[in-house]
Amino acid sequence: MPASASAAPAGAEAIEAASTVARSYYRLMQTTPTEDLRELVLGHLRLVSRLLTSTSSEKDQARVAGAASDTALLAAWLAEDSWDLGAVQRHFQEARTYAERSRDSDLQAFIACTMSECAARGTGSGAEAVRLVQQARRLLPSNASSAAHTYIAAREATAYATAHDEPAMSSALLRAEKSLEKTDGPGEAPWPWVFPMNHHHEITRFRGFAALNLKLPAMAVPALTDGLEQLGPAPTKRRAYTLSKLAEAHCQTGDVEQACDLGAQAFTIGSQLGDTESLMAVRNVRVQLMPVETTQAVRAFDDRVLSTLLTLPR
């Protein structure tokens, strides 16, 4: 009896450690070069997968499966940063499978919502983005937090915008605002809804992304500018991506100098952090600048970024 009594706490400690490590990696993701973190996350995913096979009780299996799902989802995000689209889909499927084993409805909804965002940002498939975000809403439990509803509604807006459905986009943004009014600060949001979806400026940023997809620069520029200011000056992947999208919005207004300046800032951060997704967004800015590529601003922009942009995956 003493031996089995001592074995149970060890298992509980290992499970707790597996969950804690995965969530610590999430906090590092925005400021750590992608390749520095990716191998660590893949190693942790292998470890948690082995731990799952050696766990016997249903309760412990559900907890370990949740940790494995968290880790696989982070692996998918890092693969997206690297523009390794095959790995993105593989890790998403792993995350979904583990989430189903965890029986955590919040986690299942979060993964479907994340896959929708990837479809909107990566492949530009509006139909797929809408299908997945609607699935996320169906998976959301009836007692889900206001933060969860806000998070999903904001991403619904970008999904519908990618599908060129402006009325549905506007409705989703209104739902996000209403849900946010019920959110009592950042402490109210449980895992996994802990990303910065608890203030109006973050919804404003998503309004900017949605407006950009609909080619509404008069809405996109002020929204993304406000969202960028609230992110602060720290060089994060989130800031790099927002800068690149604000640059694209200025392309739509015809403000070439501002587009080049913001694109160069996004390029600097994206290069430092190995954030290929943001660099791909900068490349899209450069494509939109082709009609004015002989101007001094674009020439200076090319001197800084073109050699790197030409090496990015197609």
Query: Does the structure show a pLDDT above 90 at 46?
Result: yes
Q: Do 186 and 279 belong together in one domain?
A: no
| pLDDT in the model for residue 15 | 84
pLDDT value for 223: 97
- Is 129 a domain residue? yes
78 and 126 inside one domain: no
* CA atoms of 277 and 298, how far apart (whole Å): 21
Question: In which domain, by residue range, is 178 found?
Answer: 104-223
Asked if residue 37 is part of any domain, the answer here is: yes
Do 117 and 176 share a structural domain? yes
Residue 10 phi/psi, 5-degree rounding, is -60, -45
Mean pLDDT computed over every residue of the chain: 91
pLDDT per residue over 83-128, tens digit each?
A: 898 999 999 999 999 999 999 999 999 999 999 999 999 888 999 9
Residue 157 domain-assigned?
yes
Q: Residue 314 — pLDDT band, cuts 50, 70, 90?
A: confident
**CA-to-CA dists, residue 11 to 14, 17, 61, 110, 264, angstroms:** 5, 10, 11, 27, 49
For residue 219, what pLDDT is reported? Answer: 98
**Between 111 and 11, residue with greater pLDDT:** 111
Q: Are residues 127 and 212 in the same domain?
A: yes
Among 28-32, 88-92, 105-109, 178-182, which stretch is predicted with the lowest mean pLDDT? 178-182
Spatial separation of the C-alpha atoms in residues 191 and 122, rounded to whole Å: 25
Query: What is the average per-residue pLDDT within 264-284?
Result: 96
| 3 is a domain residue | no
> Higher model confidence: residue 9 or residue 27?
27
- How far is 227 from 242, CA to CA, in rounded Å? 8
Question: What value does the mean pLDDT take over residues 217-226?
Answer: 98
Segment 175-181 shows an average pLDDT of: 91
d(CA 264, CA 170): 31
Q: Which of 6-10, 84-88, 192-196 has the highest mean pLDDT?
A: 84-88
Residues 6+ apart with CB under 8 A from 34: 78, 81, 82, 273, 274, 275, 276
Q: How confident is the model at residue 139 (pLDDT cuts 50, 70, 90)?
A: very high
Across the range 136-152, mean pLDDT stands at 92
Do 119 and 90 sit in the same domain of this protein?
Answer: no
- The packing angle between helices 256-272 and 237-253, to 10°, is 160
How is residue 100 written in tokens?
Answer: 């189903």
